[in-house]
Amino acid sequence: MRCRKLYLQNNSRGTGLSLGAGFQCDYMGVTLARCASPPAASGQQQETGVRLIMPNNKTGPRVCLVIILLLAAVLLSPLSALAAEARGVIVKYKPGRVPLSALPSAGAPGRQLARLGVVPVPKGPSESVDSLLSRFQRDERVEYVEPDYARRALAVYPNDSLFGQQWALARLKLPQAWEATLGSREMVVAVVDSGVDAGHEDLAGRLLPGYDFVNDDAFPEDGVGHGTFVAGIIGALTDNGIGMAGVAWEVTLLPVQVLDSNGYGYDSDIAAGIIFAADQGARVINLSLGGAEYSQTLAEAVAYAEGKGVVVVAAAGNDGGPVIYPAAIPEVVAVGAIQQDGSVWVKSNRGAGLDVVAPGIGVHGLRLGGGTALGSGTSYAAGYVSGITALLRSRETWLAPEQVRQRLQTGTTDVGAAGWDEISGHGEVDAWKVLSYHGEMAGREDVNGDGLVDLYDLVRVAGIYGRRPGEPGYESSLDLDGDGEITLGDLRLVAEWYGTR
């Protein structure tokens, strides 16, 4: 906030006589209020806005300034706290109006953000975020400017390393889902987080070369353990006799570091990480991070990723309030957390924008440096949903991001009231339902009448035509589309033959 002294003039008679003095206070380019002592003579004052008239021409301005500052302290304290967490601003110039001085620097975030036409501008040692906002808001070349807010990892970090039963896998019906698919090594899931422990024994051979947007280098090393934990949930090596089982056995993970060793990161780095992941071929992006403030830059980065066919999954938040950003962006799958008994965690964020809930309290993940640990938070619930999304996209590669979101929303079990509700969204994700049900093939495609459209229906089709397991040509008879694999794509052909779309 900036305050300045006013000298009011009598302009009605062209005398230029001083009529009084006062103060005007502005915040983010907007005048909050003006106050002034009464004029010494009659006349029309050339001022507009809110005025607080003080009784004494000598002491009035000082009293007035104290009142405005107190008022601003009450009204703007939350805004000031948020601005204090920002390291600068993000500026988007109008097409064709970008000045040469604003061209992206050599830093990786600037290069990635250039795809959105936005430029991160850090504040100098003597500058404030407010002054930067005010400066760029006055620039007619600027389309929008917003603070480069800090966001944080969304999890509770335990100190103990525990081994035991992974209750979440059974609750998600993953053992049944694994009968249909274990994933695909061609399916890339980006963990946009604090980095990943590349030396962990349960991630050996699973990681692609990534990038660190915090330190602007090619070494996304995890300094806090959050990204490693999430990566383990999504795709830890499975059926290898050690550690824990991941959701998607055969996927490839892309580590992208946007959070520092304290678990905090800024919108410009997060947006750059999203763009980088999309450009590197990720089909799923996991964002187990967030903050309360909306960011147009993050929204545009998500839109960029979706335009490349990427599904973005994010944690809903851990304070019991409204769904945070980026999870609250409409194109993002927002995930809340449930406990082992199936109840929604009391601190799981809720309300408009919540899509689904998944296990997130007391769940297993990989520990930084080796082994496993237990952790809690919507961060980890998002990891499970990202893993299930990878399984679905591995098998039904033709699905668009919007179709994937619909499958996740319909492949659920109600937790509370039937249908969508503010506490649990569309309900608890059921991996078997997500992988089994195909919205375009409901009805006659449920050949065996079990209420699900899955590969068992294809087996039933084979049986109708006299084919039996173990007989020569049995498997090739199920590969109706001739792609060398038996998937729901083959059952889709059956649906088309029967005239159902």
Coil, strand, or helix at residue 181?
Answer: coil
Strands 88-93 and 361-366: unpaired
Question: From CA 325, how far away is CA 290, in angstroms rounded?
Answer: 5
What type of residue is 331? Answer: E
Of the residues 130, 200, 226, 490, only one is catalytic, namely 226
**419: alpha, beta or left, given left = phi > 0 and alpha = psi -120 to 50?**
left
The answer to whether the peptide bond before residue 326 is cis (omega within 30 degrees of 0) is yes
Give the residue from 359, 415, 343 showing the smallest Cα distance to 233: 359
Report, in this order, helix, strand and coil percent for the chain, each rounded to 5: 30, 25, 45
For 39, the token pair is 């004029």
Dihedral of CA atoms 73, 267, 253, 175 in degrees, nearest 10, equals: 40
- Known catalytic residue at 477: no
Coil, strand, or helix at residue 89?
Answer: strand
Of the residues 134, 288, 348, 379, only one is catalytic, namely 379
- Known catalytic residue at 379: yes
Of the residues 193, 202, 222, 490, only one is catalytic, namely 193
Give the residue from 365, 380, 392 showing the smallest Cα distance to 283: 392
Question: From CA 248, how far away is CA 237, in angstroms rounded?
Answer: 9
Question: From CA 481, how far away is CA 498, in angstroms rounded?
Answer: 15
Helices (H) and strands (E) in the chain, counts: 14, 21
Whole-Å CA distances, 208 to 201, 215, 254, 365, 392: 15, 18, 5, 20, 21
Instruction: Sort 470 into a burial class: Cβ within 10 Å, 0-12 / 13-18 / 19+.
Output: exposed
Strands 150-153 and 264-266: antiparallel
Catalytic residue positions, numbered: 193, 226, 379
